[in-house]
Structure 1
Amino acid sequence: MNSFLFKKSRKFVVALTTALLLSLTLTGCGGAKPASETTPAASAAPNSVIKIGIIAPLTGPAARTGQEFKDSINMAFGEINNKVGEHPIEFKWIDSESDAEKGARAYESAIVNDKITVGFMDWHSWVSVSCMEVAAKYKMPHFFSYGATDVVNQKYKSDPEKYAYWMGKAWPTPEKLSIGYVSAVEEAIKKGLWKPEN
């Protein structure tokens, strides 16, 4: 396991736990009804399970990335004993297969059939764009998508109320990245900002 990835995921855990608690306080453990059929949810019952639906490419061309997400998330949440406050955590791993349509169908199934409480992550821009529709349809809070495309921003700006459930875009649009990935890592090492173990 890449220690840099693990350290980054630990930061996400802190942010996610805060977001989850806020989500549970504001929306409760909402049901899986489309937005047009939802009613305000009651606050979460003490010790109720938080089911986190994590979208990742677990099979297909980016399966290695999906496995690294899975390993680092398991390790990071293990450090907080798989609990947020008094709420135990369960993971529902949602395989996007690196495909927008399959990812959206799997996400919807996790909401409707597996009754996830909150959505978390995903890797590909095209999966983010398709899953935004699912989150909007079911009013499912979704945090920390890695989809970088500006289409995510455009979609949100087109109807902020509808797409408000897609929160915390974790990666800037490609145009806003001033230097490439390799150059960024090399510069961080050169400036002493990051000292890789190997």
Structure 2
Amino acid sequence: MSDTSLNRRLRRALLGASVATLAMAASAQAFADTIKIGLLAPLTGPAAADGQEYQRGAQMAIDEINAAGGFNGNTFELVVGDVKDQSAGNVTSAVERLLGDPDVHFITTGYASLTNFEIDNMAEAEMPYILSATSQQTRDIIAPEPEKYGCCWSMTPSFDAYNTDVTFFVEKLAKEGKIPQGSKKVAIVSSDNAYSKTISEGMKKTFAEHGWTITVDEIVPFGEVTDWRSILAKVRADVPDVVINTDYLPGNSASFLNQFMEQPTKSLVFLQYAPSVPEFVELTKANSNGIVYNLLGGPLTTPKNPRAAEVSDKFKAKYGTESGTYGLALYETVHVYFDALKKAGDASDHAAVMKAIGETDKQIAAGRLKFDPATHLAMQGDDFIPITFFQIWDGQRILISPAQYATGEFKAQPWM
């Protein structure tokens, strides 16, 4: 018998014994004195800035819930499994450690493995699990047999909008005269990981379908990249209307921008995700002015969604810094679990908790959260969680699209 199978049997035996004990006990408590919430996070490695945000957001929610009395007199504790560089071995080790703890009754993450293979571990262990990234991979795993994966739900909607909406956004700006109607050339740079490649491939397909010429199509190895000059030389040799980099690591994206600014071309620059991380502006300073990025599941900080400002203000008050996407996302995730736990009534009744998670319908910082039962992804759209475009000016992130939520308008990037 493998160690994993043995751990799983021991866990089930312990859970069964606990349930039997509780059934005979006169106490009103639903489970042990402490209910543990497991967190998979890259606390070390190139994505550590995101991992720190996960931990802060989840801990803020737990502190808040404990201060309000916990659940049936029980308190919550955060237990972290460091996935480090997100390699399969490190993710597996962290997953098995959390699943091997009988007091862990819920596991969450922003992203852990990027391919999300750990969803199968959660399904086998019957562990409630909520993640917040790489939704294409989540859909590919769950959609063929959604009934098999009652465990697992994504706070992030389908990535289809990432694949298409940058093209729509750029063409709308050109039509409105906000950027030049150039020669319809685009340079697309990506990183060799599931998230970045999925998005870049989708973008290339959509741009090509709209009659654009892809003048630069480059992919770099996943991990730290400090020198982008050979790729940027190709960009400068045949100047495109749009330059896109889908590498999501803030350090890499910042290096790309800083080196682009050594000799900028009159191109609209779009960077995927990384500018949403506070570290990005620290690394790029004034070079970040004008940069455009988009988010699915990012905070919808608009008067139409006061929840985002409320949670953002709490985060800044507690930690003395702005939250990126994942601080708020993990805060909301823990509250989704807590709502489900109240509905289920017992932390050890994982089936009831998982069912209650799937029935979620509430307003969160990113919009209205409701899950698609066919894919277990959050529903996407202006009435649910919209794709949002932001532009950075003087360190501030201005929501510029969609129009009904916008807090400002697109302005030409300084080098254009």
Matched residues in 1 for 2:8 and 2:161: separation? 37
Aligned to 2:81: 94
Aligned to 2:399: 188
Q: Which has the higher strand share?
A: 2
- Structure number with larger C-alpha Rg: 2
Judged with a 3 Å threshold, the aligned counterparts in structure 2 of structure 1 residues 194 and 108 are, in CA distance, closer, same or farther, namely farther
Matched residues in 2 for 1:194 and 1:124: separation? 31
Matched residues in 1 for 2:15 and 2:40: separation? 26
Matched residues in 1 for 2:64 and 2:161: separation? 34
Aligned to 1:165: 151
Tell me, yes or no, if the aligned pair for 1:47 and 1:86 is still in contact at 8 Å: no
Matched, 1:52 2:40: no
Deviations 1:79-110 (A, max 9, x none): 23362453210111111112233112211221
Higher relative contact order (CA 8 A, sep 6+): 1
Judged with a 3 Å threshold, the aligned counterparts in structure 2 of structure 1 residues 163 and 47 are, in CA distance, closer, same or farther, namely closer
Judged with a 3 Å threshold, the aligned counterparts in structure 2 of structure 1 residues 39 and 157 are, in CA distance, closer, same or farther, namely farther
Deviations 1:2-29 (A, max 9, x none): xxxxxxxxxxxxxxxxxxxxxxxxxxxx
Aligned-pair Cα RMSD in Å: 3.2
Deviations 1:163-191 (A, max 9, x none): 22112x11233322334652512362575
Aligned to 1:137: 124
> What SS is found at the alignment partner of 1:86?
coil
The within-5 A match list for 1:1-198 is: 33=8, 42=19, 45-46=29-30, 48=32, 49-81=34-66, 83-97=70-84, 98-113=86-101, 115-124=103-112, 126=114, 129-143=116-130, 145-167=131-153, 169-177=154-162, 178-179=165-166, 182-183=293-294, 184-186=389-391, 188-189=399-400, 193=405
Judged with a 3 Å threshold, the aligned counterparts in structure 2 of structure 1 residues 85 and 164 are, in CA distance, closer, same or farther, namely same
Specify every segment of 5 or more residues in structure 1 that has no aligned partner in the other structure, as ranges. Answer: 1-31
Tell me, yes or no, if the aligned pair for 2:36 and 2:103 is still in contact at 8 Å: yes
Give the partner amino acid of 1:100: A
Deviations 1:118-162 (A, max 9, x none): 1112325625x221011012111112x023242211211222232
Specify every segment of 5 or more residues in structure 2 that has no aligned partner in the other structure, as ranges. Answer: 1-6, 23-28, 167-271, 274-292, 295-388, 392-397, 409-416
State TM-score, norm by structure 1. 0.65
Give the partner amino acid of 1:94: G
Matched residues in 1 for 2:91 and 2:31: separation? 30
> What SS is found at the alignment partner of 1:162?
helix
Tell me, yes or no, if the aligned pair for 2:38 and 2:81 is still in contact at 8 Å: yes
**Alignment: residue pair count:** 160
State TM-score, norm by structure 2. 0.34
Tell me, yes or no, if the aligned pair for 2:110 and 2:132 is still in contact at 8 Å: yes
Give the partner amino acid of 2:104: I
Tell me, yes or no, if the aligned pair for 1:101 and 1:130 is still in contact at 8 Å: no
Matched residues in 1 for 2:66 and 2:45: separation? 31
Judged with a 3 Å threshold, the aligned counterparts in structure 2 of structure 1 residues 85 and 166 are, in CA distance, closer, same or farther, namely same
